[in-house]
Structure 1
Amino acid sequence: MTETIDRHQTTHSAHPAFRASEQLAAHLQQVLVDLTDLHIQGKQAHWNVVGKNFRDLHLQLDEVVDDARTFSDTIAERMRALYITPDARAATVAHGSSLPAFPAGEVDTAQTVDLVVGALYGVAATARRVHDEVDAEDPTSADILHSILERIEQLAWMVDAENRTANRSVPANVPV
């Protein structure tokens, strides 16, 4: 006769070298929510952008979306490695995002550029706001924030260049 093993009765005990504090968990959760919202807003913009330079911006928005998805996955997996349960459900993202909402319907390319740049800098602002406290507790997570910031700010510069006039305009959505 074959015995059935009840796996639910097995006790498992992990002893991680490091566990995140509630503050670190909250900081990483906020970055996750903002990156997830950036991904969603990028797709909304991608589907509804119209006007001059449509195709270039349409394709550039795919880069924003792909990077936001990759970064949100990286943050969520880092959270799991620290025994934090990530939450990127639609209701959580809608309620917790620090990014301004993207409008419904068609959006002109120039306005889309400004809105997406604002969202990119919003994610960067969140990462910068939490960075020092994250770094004090977990330099490894701070290193992840560094790589996200590097790319998000590069994307913001590249997208924003669509609306700029050489030597005659300042970047949109950036405090001067």
Structure 2
Amino acid sequence: MATVKSPLGDEARKVVAEALQGALVDMIDLSLFAKQAHWNLTGRNFKVVHEHLDEVVELARTYTDEMAERAIALGINPDGRARTVADRTPIQQLEPGYVADDKVVAAMTDVLAQLIERFRERVRATDEPDPVTQDLLIEATSKLEMQHWMFQAQL
């Protein structure tokens, strides 16, 4: 079986692997969280929030792939299996059933704020071991912060 040889040393690869795996879990669950909200949304601002949630899903899916492919390029195996995501996600899930638009906006604002905090920690952690991965994390953080601002403005 062929494997990808990492350009990083063992210690650097360990730090980067942890950062990328955490980011992967966050992005996979963010896409699921936003889709769940998208499907069950109700309220006056349905159309605007419904469409905005699709933007978040698209962002999350794009960076899920980017994080996984970056990991593979470094000889790190990403784990995006449903069980892994379910076991490791710190994202508080929505209640089942219909959810009012104001609750969805508040929940998305909170979730995005939590993700931004974790992504900023990953940016700091990867500064020395791998600036290329850090750059990807900075880019994703910037997009998350923009979405956070847009949801927060609706509160």
**TM-score grouping bracket, smaller chain normalisation:** over 0.9
Amino acid at match of 2:62: T
Q: Match of 1:174? A: none
CA apart distance, 1:103? 1.7
In the alignment, structure 1 residue 42 sits paired with structure 2 residue 37: no
Q: Match of 1:84? A: 76
1:98 alignment partner, SS class? coil
In the alignment, structure 1 residue 103 sits paired with structure 2 residue 89: no
| Normalised TM-score (structure 1) | 0.82
Determine the C-alpha separation between the residues in 2 that align with 1:15 and 1:82: 7
Q: Match of 1:18? A: 8
Q: Match of 2:64? A: 72
Q: Compared with structure 1, are the counterparts of its residues 49 and 26 closer, same or farther at alpha carbon in structure 2 (3 Å cutoff)?
A: same
RMSD: 1.6
Q: Match of 1:166? A: none
**Looking at CA atoms only, which structure, 1 or 2, has the larger radius of gyration?**
1
Q: Number of residues paired by the alignment?
A: 153
In the alignment, structure 1 residue 157 sits paired with structure 2 residue 152: no
CA apart distance, 1:134? 1.0
Determine the C-alpha separation between the residues in 2 that align with 1:48 and 1:111: 11
| Normalised TM-score (structure 2) | 0.92
Determine the C-alpha separation between the residues in 1 that align with 2:4 and 2:83: 31
Q: Compared with structure 1, are the counterparts of its residues 137 and 56 closer, same or farther at alpha carbon in structure 2 (3 Å cutoff)?
A: same
Determine the C-alpha separation between the residues in 2 that align with 1:117 and 1:123: 10
Residue by residue over 1:105-155, the C-alpha shift from the partner in whole angstroms, topping out at 9 and shown as x without a partner, is: 110000000111111112111111222121110000000011111110100
Q: Compared with structure 1, are the counterparts of its residues 106 and 98 closer, same or farther at alpha carbon in structure 2 (3 Å cutoff)?
A: same
Determine the C-alpha separation between the residues in 2 that align with 1:153 and 1:13: 35
Unmatched 5+ stretches in structure 2: none
CA apart distance, 1:22? 1.8
Residue by residue over 1:148-173, the C-alpha shift from the partner in whole angstroms, topping out at 9 and shown as x without a partner, is: 1111010011012112xxxxxxxxxx
| Higher RCO, 1 vs 2 (CA within 8 Å, ≥6 residues apart) | 2
Unmatched 5+ stretches in structure 1: 1-7, 164-176
In the alignment, structure 1 residue 29 sits paired with structure 2 residue 21: yes
